[in-house]
Structure 1
Amino acid sequence: MNWYLEVLKKYATFSGRARRKEFWMFYLFNFIAITVLSIIDAALDIRILSGLYLLAIIIPYLAVAVRRLHDTGRSGWWLLISFVPLVGAIVLIVFWATDGEQQVNGHGPNPKLAPAY
């Protein structure tokens, strides 16, 4: 839950770097939340809860995705490759799963070496 809240604290921060763990834990929590909200929507025969959640979470999701790309030494503009059917999603998953650069890059220091909060 701390990883999820940490991303929300950086709501629209597109600069810097994000660890793999930060990105994937945020992704996992969102997947669970959307699944639960979709089940509630279906049970109540409405389609508003999951839609509102998706609308509220789109900016932090894009921000952490860009920061994750920064950690691998890539520009955030690589997110646009997701518009290429099938291949784009596969390429992004590979980029997001790749270990970050160990040294300082143009987007900041290695977040794994940052002191704990």
Structure 2
Amino acid sequence: MNWFVDALKKYAVFSGRAQRSEYWYFFLFYFGLAIGAALLDGMVGAFNRQAGVGVFGSIVALGLLLPSLAVGVRRLHDIDRSGWWLLIAVVPVVGAIVLLVFSLKDSQPGSNRFGPNPKDAFPSEKFSLT
């Protein structure tokens, strides 16, 4: 939970680096919120089948759009790639595969042009799920 809250605190910070754990924990909680919103949409009848969207799901998606872009850019910075690589997602199938491979890569050791390695600054014992 700490990773998600920390990413939300940096909701519009596109500079710096985000290690794999920050990125994946953010999207784990994002996915959980999206599932919860979809269930809530279904229970209260707020899902529009014709539009394919629900009220609560839309609120979650719009509310977390900027933080998810920011953590994605910082994750790309961690492997010494420009944040503009996020645009490859518009290429069907191939773009998603490329971004998945990039997000699974380990941090570039030491400092790079985007800043110091976050693994060096924050030991992994500092953050936990409890």
- Give, in whole Å, the separation in 2 of the partners of 1:53 and 1:37: 7
Output the TM-score relative to the length of structure 2.
0.87
Question: Is the counterpart of residue 72 in structure 1 residue 79 in structure 2?
Answer: yes
Report the AA paired with residue 114 of structure 1: A
- Give, in whole Å, the separation in 1 of the partners of 2:7 and 2:28: 13
- Give, in whole Å, the separation in 2 of the partners of 1:45 and 1:86: 32
- Give, in whole Å, the separation in 1 of the partners of 2:71 and 2:92: 22
- Give, in whole Å, the separation in 2 of the partners of 1:115 and 1:49: 35
Alignment of 1:1-117 (within 5 A): 1-46=1-46, 47-115=54-122
- Give, in whole Å, the separation in 1 of the partners of 2:60 and 2:90: 22
- Give, in whole Å, the separation in 2 of the partners of 1:115 and 1:34: 29
- Structure 1 98/115 Cα, relative in aligned 2: closer, same or farther at 3 Å? closer
Could you list the runs of 4 or more consecutive aligned residues of structure 1 that deviate by over 6 angstroms after TM superposition? none
Stretches of structure 2 lacking an aligned partner (at least 5 in a row): 47-53
**What is the percent sequence identity of the aligned residues?**
50
Say how many residue pairs are matched. 117
Output the TM-score relative to the length of structure 1.
0.97
Secondary structure class of the residue paired with 1:104: coil
